[in-house]
């Protein structure tokens, strides 16, 4: 389960820019990976991603930028210690039964309404798309102190028939308010089927998707409500209102999710 916490691993030596964490993650994934040392120019990573993305459908993979640190390694190793075990875990996750994702969203929204009471109506009672933040480039893998440089990461070509299947290879979630890995898998499937959203970036606490802008206001409002149900932090600790989130989705080509 990816999330904040103290690492049990001793900080590894970094030889030639490749940390022990990155080496182990690449070995565990067992698929073609391109490594980028910490402080690599962000455009170099994005160019490599765009090149890989151009061929993803014919190549039978989904390109994922994965920030390689001790927490992601620990969480991956909770599910599998070898590439063979990871494949077996993938097969089990893919067997999870279909989920009524829209009902899941409705149930989560109902929980928030009940918890917030009158504050819900005051803040979210009538959601209308309004001017919001627009995101057109991935940012989850960049350094907080230098946005033109990246954290250590790999570009992995995850073998998939459908893009959402990356979450069967890379289980994510199950901590704090973040949905569990089985739910993430099925929600990503829904996002892809309904909005053509493609997973692109994973860190210890961030997911980013590539997606066409939602030009229709009603569609954007509906998607914003779903995103709030999926990841309330992007509103409460981000854009402040679901209406602003909806407005941003009308022009954004990147969806950003972050769990505290």
Neighbouring C-beta atoms of residue 90, cutoff 10 Å: 22
d(CA 248, CA 194): 18
d(CA 157, CA 160): 9
pLDDT of residue 107: 96
Domain ranges of the chain: 14-99+123-258
Read off the tokens for 4.
């904040």
- Report helix, strand or coil for 7: coil
pLDDT of residue 124: 73
Closest Cα to residue 252, out of 129, 142, 105?
Answer: 129
Q: Across-strand partners of 156?
A: 33, 64
Read off the tokens for 165.
């299947």
The answer to whether 22 touches 67, Cβ cutoff 8 Å, is no
Q: What are phi and psi of 210, to 5 degrees?
A: -90, 130
User: SS3 helix, strand, coil % of the chain, rounded to 5?
Assistant: 45, 15, 35
Strands 198-202 and 61-67, sheet pairing: parallel
Read off the tokens for 70.
């001790």
- Report helix, strand or coil for 154: strand
Neighbouring C-beta atoms of residue 159, cutoff 10 Å: 18
Neighbouring C-beta atoms of residue 251, cutoff 10 Å: 16
The answer to whether 232 touches 240, Cβ cutoff 8 Å, is no
d(CA 18, CA 179): 31
CB-side neighbour CA atoms (13 Å) of 237: 8
d(CA 114, CA 111): 5
Residue ranges in the chain modelled with pLDDT below 50: 1-15
Read off the tokens for 7.
């690492």
pLDDT tens-digit profile of 99-145? 999 999 999 999 998 888 887 776 676 778 888 899 999 999 999 99
Neighbouring C-beta atoms of residue 102, cutoff 10 Å: 13
Read off the tokens for 11.
């900080």
> What residues have CB less than 8 Å from 194, skipping those under 6 apart?
none
Q: CA dihedral in degrees (114, 1, 187, 243; nearest 10)?
A: 50
pLDDT of residue 118: 80
């Amino acid at each position: 389960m990816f999330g904040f916490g103290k690492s049990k691993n001793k900080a590894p030596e970094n030889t030639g820019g490749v940390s022990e964490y990155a080496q182990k993650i690449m070995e565990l994934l067992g698929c073609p990976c391109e490594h980028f040392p910490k402080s690599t120019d962000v455009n170099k990573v994005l160019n490599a991603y765009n090149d890989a993305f151009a061929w993803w459908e014919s190549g039978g993979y989904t390109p994922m930028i994965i920030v390689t640190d001790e927490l992601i390694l620990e969480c991956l190793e909770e599910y599998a210690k070898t590439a063979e075990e990871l494949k077996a875990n993938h097969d089990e996750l893919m067997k999870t039964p279909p989920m009524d994702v829209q009902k899941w969203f409705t149930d989560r929204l109902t929980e928030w309404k009940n918890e917030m009471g009158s504050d819900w109506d005051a803040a979210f009672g009538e959601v209308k798309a309004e001017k919001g933040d627009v995101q057109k480039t991935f940012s989850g893998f960049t350094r907080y102190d230098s946005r033109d440089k990246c954290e250590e990461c790999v570009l992995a070509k995850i073998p998939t028939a459908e893009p959402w299947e990356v979450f069967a290879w890379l289980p994510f979630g199950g901590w704090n308010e973040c949905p569990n890995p089985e739910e993430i898998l099925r929600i990503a499937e829904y996002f892809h089927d309904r909005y053509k959203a493609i997973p692109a970036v994973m860190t210890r606490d961030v997911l980013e998707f590539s997606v066409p802008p939602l030009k229709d206001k009603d569609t954007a409002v509906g998607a914003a409500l779903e995103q709030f149900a999926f990841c309330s932090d992007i509103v409460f600790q981000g854009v402040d209102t679901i209406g602003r989130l909806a407005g941003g989705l009308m022009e954004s080509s990147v969806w950003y999710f972050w769990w505290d």
